[in-house]
Copies of this chain bind each other. A is one copy, B any other.
Amino acid sequence: MSSISSGSASPRQPRRRAVSKRSLATSLSILNAAERLFAERGYEGASIRDIAKAAGAQVASVNFHHVSKETLFERVVERRASELSKLRLDALAELKQKQQPLTLEALLSAFLRPYLEKAGAGDPQWLAYARLVAMVSAEARWHKISERCFDPTAGVFIAEIAKLFPRVSGSAIAVSFIFSVASMLSLSTSSWRIEALAGGNQQAMDQLANQLIRFCEAGMRATLEA
């Protein structure tokens, strides 16, 4: 306290500055490249040098903008997670405003559709992210990120579903919800199988989304309304 020249009227903070446009561009291109390479090769499989080269940046720039490899990975996951959560919660809010009471199918649709639409719209960046989410959900190493980014929103939907099944324990509902999320993620992780089956056209993608929602809705109903 006393060592700092306080008391004086001049704030001795070194005066912040606005971020330059160029800086933001490199930071963003690094995030995008990392998103793609992490999804393709995994965390250890994608080196900072590969990411920097794919982003057209220097290796040191990666650490400068994103501190460390682990921080970079977390930022990649977190970036779109908030967008995904917002889409889901918005769909839920719209649902609550429109119809009363809520149906299980509508709730599942509100949760699953944002992911399916983003992952299936053909945006390679979102497709990579979808695979990344599946990776984060599968590997024990990223539990913390998973809890921080996805569990809160999932908890909201689980609570809503619990209202529809008042006599069922919360854990049973959570387990069925986990099955549903796993089925959802399998569309990304098994896309290589599914594309061989569906041919990749958009209509087939929509049918796949519908099939998933019906699968989960029936599965949950069967396990919860015994």
Contacts and interface: CB of A to CB of B under 8 A. Distances in A.
B186 A174 contact: no
A221 interface: yes
Contact of A141 (B41, B186, B216, B222): B41
Main secondary structure of the interface of A (DSSP, over half): helix
A157 to B, nearest CB: 15
B174 A197 contact: yes
Interface in A158-202: 171-172, 174-176, 178-179, 181-183, 185-186, 189-190, 192-194, 197-198
Interface string A190-225: 101110011000000000100110111111111100
B215 A179 contact: yes
A135 interface: yes
Given A135-B138, A141-B41, A194-B178, A215 B211 contact: no
Copies assembled? 2
Given A171-B198, A194-B178, A197-B171, A218 B222 contact: yes
Interface stretch (A26-34, A42-50, A61-69, A93-101): A42-50
A90 interface: no
24 contacts: A40-B140, A41-B141, A42-B43, A42-B44, A42-B139, A43-B45, A134-B138, A135-B139, A137-B189, A138-B138, A138-B189, A143-B192, A171-B197, A171-B198, A178-B186, A178-B193, A179-B215, A182-B189, A182-B190, A183-B183, A183-B219, A214-B219, A215-B220, A218-B221
Contacts of A137: 189-190
A88 interface: no
A36 interface: no
A223 B218 CA distance: 9
A212 B138 contact: no
B186 A179 contact: yes
Most buried by B among A185, A193, A208: A193
Contacts of A42: 42-44, 139, 141
